[in-house]
Amino acid sequence: MNNSLNREDSLEEDPRIVEARKLIREAVADHVIRIDCVRPPDHSLQESYDQLLKQFGELRGGGLYYRYLGSGLGNGALVELVDGSVKYDMISGIGVHIYGHTHIGMIDELVQAAISDTVMQGNLQQNLDSLRLCDDLVRIARSSGSGLEHCFLSTSGATANENALKMMFQKKHPADRMLTFRNSFSGRTMALAQLTDRPKNREGLPTTLSVDYIPFFDNDQPAQSTKASLAALSEHLHRYPESHAGMCLELIQGEGGYYSAPREFFIALFDVLREHDIPIWIDEVQTFGRTSRMFAFQHLELDEYVDVVTLGKMSQVCATLFTKDLKARPGLVSQTFTGATSSIRAAQFILKQFCEGNYLGENGRTLQIHNRFVQHFERLHAENPNSIRGPWGIGGMVAFTVFDGSAERTKDFLNRLFEAGVIAFPAGAEPTRVRMLPPLLVMLDKDIDAVCGLIENVLTESRFSPDLP
């Protein structure tokens, strides 16, 4: 992807750069080839590895969730750790490494970012790549009818969400409340910790935002739960008239446990919000690029309802997309960094692959990957219904519940799975679920089969283990 206006004499097209890139691609290919299957740790490295993990835990003021310290090398969905082990990375930095590890095409793209004039781009001085990325994101977001016209880049999902929040409050001033769903997750700033429905995430923090919660859809009682959600919304609107600046929601609850709802459920609520002139903000920080379309609001055909959409994780650069109506007045949103040149180039490379490759659509690769996981899970469930059960998540957000779904039992399962060579992560509570965000752009069928084989082994081992928590 060339980002200079004049191709012929650009630095990127200089024959020395072209030759250097070729040599880099060849060298990388020679090094990654040996990472071809799951491997246990090298025992001779154990002591020094333990030391490094201990040092890291001390430096950051708290231990890491897993004994994970990457070596900086991987191959597709496999990643190598400093202890010499190789594992399937089924969590991808919680949805970030959509191209897996040490992807040659991505490295080639990033070499071009490395020879760019600056490391970081920000609001004062943006390069052409930032413009192109904003243009791509708005074009994709509008492709099936949304009114999103503007794009503001940022470096984290939380910042994209803070920007959304500020735009909505400014627009709806003096409204001072927000609506969201129960079990929502929005990020970890002072304001987002209030929006997030998890008391432990705001332990000790002052209240910065007044939030009203609405129960999410319950798949076991569709009609009843829709009625209950509508009743809760109506109650909040009645109790605090003209006080809500917007509703923030995830169409597929991520940290909440990978639950979704049918289009009709959202439309029922959105119609009420529209009646009350309350803007609708869809948080797609986790869902972006994980369904049959780039945006989950497109997957659910809710384009006409969206006023603000935030995205992040697999896009490498985060963004707030918004309609003309929600444009902020000068001074409200700005950042020194809106993205590293390498992240911006990576984002463009990823979007191109999704949109031009065979990933989207009902028969696209993303849903094929999901279906293959589900086939394995259904078989495991049929053999041992008490070991593993659904729901299995949506698209590239794969999930399941093991045993009784208690936090302790699930953590024990995840640790065993990690030792066996698969990295996954928990989500939700009561039940605590196992979730996976596979690197969709490199996942092969044989990877899915190998991962599910390891899940099966660990389920069997856990079932018969005498020392379960």
The residues binding ligand PLP (CB under 6 A) are 94, 156-158, 161, 185-187, 250, 254-255, 283, 285-286, 312
Residue number, 137 or 452, with CB nearest to ligand PLP: 137
Residue number, 44 or 336, with CB nearest to ligand PLP: 336
Residue number, 163 or 387, with CB nearest to ligand PLP: 163
Nearest C-alpha neighbor of 338 from the set 148, 199, 192, 133? 133
* Nearest-approach distance from CB 150 to ligand PLP, in angstroms: 20
244's tokens: 């809500």
Residue number, 286 or 401, with CB nearest to ligand PLP: 286
* Nearest-approach distance from CB 162 to ligand PLP, in angstroms: 9
| Terminal-to-terminal C-alpha distance of the chain | 52
Residue number, 212 or 283, with CB nearest to ligand PLP: 283
Residue number, 318 or 441, with CB nearest to ligand PLP: 318
Residue number, 158 or 278, with CB nearest to ligand PLP: 158
Residue nearest to ligand PLP (CB): 157
* Nearest-approach distance from CB 312 to ligand PLP, in angstroms: 5
Nearest C-alpha neighbor of 247 from the set 306, 198, 180? 180
What is the longest distance spanned by two Cα atoms in the chain? Answer: 69
DSSP codes, 27-47? HHHHHHTT--S-BPPPGGGHH
Helix (H) or strand (E) holding 453: helix 445-463
Nearest C-alpha neighbor of 233 from the set 187, 265, 186, 189? 265
* Nearest-approach distance from CB 115 to ligand PLP, in angstroms: 28
In the chain, helix, strand, coil percent, each to 5? Answer: 45, 15, 40
* Nearest-approach distance from CB 193 to ligand PLP, in angstroms: 11
* Nearest-approach distance from CB 186 to ligand PLP, in angstroms: 5
* Nearest-approach distance from CB 105 to ligand PLP, in angstroms: 24
Nearest C-alpha neighbor of 419 from the set 379, 461, 388, 377? 461
* Nearest-approach distance from CB 280 to ligand PLP, in angstroms: 15
SS3 375: helix
Residue number, 283 or 303, with CB nearest to ligand PLP: 283
* Nearest-approach distance from CB 102 to ligand PLP, in angstroms: 23
C-alpha to C-alpha distance for 304 and 43, rounded to whole angstroms: 57
Residue number, 403 or 425, with CB nearest to ligand PLP: 425
Q: Are strands 318-322 and 150-154 parallel, antiparallel or unpaired?
A: antiparallel
Residue number, 194 or 286, with CB nearest to ligand PLP: 286
Phi, psi of 3 (to 5 degrees): -110, 10
Which one-letter DSSP state was computed for residue 196? S
Residue number, 112 or 286, with CB nearest to ligand PLP: 286
DSSP codes, 252-321? EETTTTSEE--HHHHHHHHHHHHHTT--EEEEETTTTTSSSSSSHHHHTT-GGG-SEEEE-GGGSSEEEE
* Nearest-approach distance from CB 185 to ligand PLP, in angstroms: 5
Nearest C-alpha neighbor of 280 from the set 288, 290, 271, 289? 271
279, 326 contact by CB (below 8 A): yes
Residue number, 254 or 421, with CB nearest to ligand PLP: 254
C-alpha to C-alpha distance for 198 and 56, rounded to whole angstroms: 27
* Nearest-approach distance from CB 463 to ligand PLP, in angstroms: 31
* Nearest-approach distance from CB 317 to ligand PLP, in angstroms: 11
CA quadruple 239, 244, 248, 251: dihedral, nearest 10 = 50
449's tokens: 């089969």
